[in-house]
Amino acid sequence: SAVISQKPSRDICQRGTSLTIQCQVDSQVTMMFWYRQQPGQSLTLIATANQGSEATYESGFVIDKFPISRPNLTFSTLTVSNMSPEDSSIYLCSVVYTDTQYFGPGTRLTVL
């Protein structure tokens, strides 16, 4: 199995600031995925992060708002920029490893 860790586990931020979320996986993986789960809602894919290339964003998500880094095969960061209360959500990192998709524990973000 793949073990995924995320930092921070939770944070409370002020409107207009930015937060960078880190994702570390214990195995090398080609693609890493960033999902969002808004309160009471299901998961929505934000973007796919490939090592050595720019991230691919889903409809409704843009690089200026959610810049992503993928410096190596075990690590990625997602930044939530210029935050508003609508960005309050759980952000989850995910990987596919040996035909199974694993999710990190999530980062619970509250924007005031």
Residue 45 touching other proteins (CB under 8 A): yes
Which of 44, 72, 82, 110: binder of other proteins (CB under 8 A)? 44
Exposed e or buried b per residue across 59-82, where buried means at least 16 C-beta atoms within 10 angstroms of its C-beta: eebeeebbbbebeebbbbbbebbe
The terminus-to-terminus CA distance of the chain in angstroms comes to 37
Side chain identity, residue 104: G
Of 13, 27, 43, 79, the one binding other proteins by CB under 8 A? 43
**How many of the chain's residues bind other proteins (CB under 8 A)?**
20
Could you give the angle at the alpha carbon of 67 between the alpha carbons of 65 and 70, nearest 5°? 165
Q: Is 96 in the site for other proteins (CB under 8 A)?
A: yes
Residues 50-69 that bind other proteins (CB under 8 A): 58
Q: Which is nearer to other proteins, 15 or 27 (CB)?
A: 27
CB of 20 vs other proteins, minimal distance in Å: 19
Q: Residue 98 contacts by C-beta under 8 Å, 6 or more apart in sequence?
A: 1, 2
Interface residue list for other proteins (CB under 8 A): 31, 33, 41-45, 48, 58, 92, 94, 96, 99-106
